[in-house]
Amino acid sequence: MKTYKVGYMVGSLAKGSINRKLSKALVKLAPPELALQEIAIGELPLYSYDYDADYPEVARRFKQAIAEVEAVLFVTPEYNRSIPGALKNAIDWASRPWGQNSFSRKPSGVVGTSPGSIGTAVAQQHLRGVLCFCNSPLMNTMEAYIQFTPDLIDDDGNISNQGTADFLRKYMQEYAVFVQRVLTVLPRED
């Protein structure tokens, strides 16, 4: 069984982020063929094409972290019916300069949680549009809009609701199948 390296990005920069809790739960629920590691986005300066000729070191490390994984999982909150600015900024850094898009042909998945009853549905739609433009094959066979309730996921990623845990385990299994399928049919060009 092949193991795939998956980088995940948490769209929230907040220390107590419920999406960070969700990311910890997803790591625990992932099948053994997925090796997950966080790709941090919090230290990136605001993107400007003025940097394209000479990326700062933090942005070079960020792009290298994406290059070292075979797939990406985005764990996003919903801010004002869209994705957080920090996450969009990270995507802008990774997809630039022209011709050096880190997401091209790299399979991706999108998941998120919010206290609202529709979870992060609208933010995920916006993110899917951005990733489509970045030529990142998107998992669409299963969507995960998790309504966060108090004590649903603790700081260590333990889920108190068995139905939610089962659903997220299934999501991660489907994501693993998707990654394998994409990388078999559409191998990455280095």
| pTM for this model (two decimals) | 0.95
Q: What is the pLDDT of residues 103-134, one digit of tens each?
A: 999 999 999 999 999 999 999 999 999 999 99
Q: Give the mean model confidence (pLDDT) for residues 86-97.
A: 97
The token pair that represents 174 in the structure block: 């489907």
Alpha-carbon distance values, 27 to 34, 158, 176, 183 (Å)? 9, 11, 12, 21
At residue 40, does pLDDT exceed 80?
yes
> What does the angle CA 14 – CA 18 – CA 21 come to, to the nearest 5 degrees?
105
Q: Is residue 99 part of a domain?
A: yes
Structural domains of the chain, count: 1
At residue 44, does pLDDT exceed 80?
yes
For 69, the domain range is 4-184
CATH code for the domain in which residue 124 is found: 3.40.50.360
Q: Is residue 23 part of a domain?
A: yes
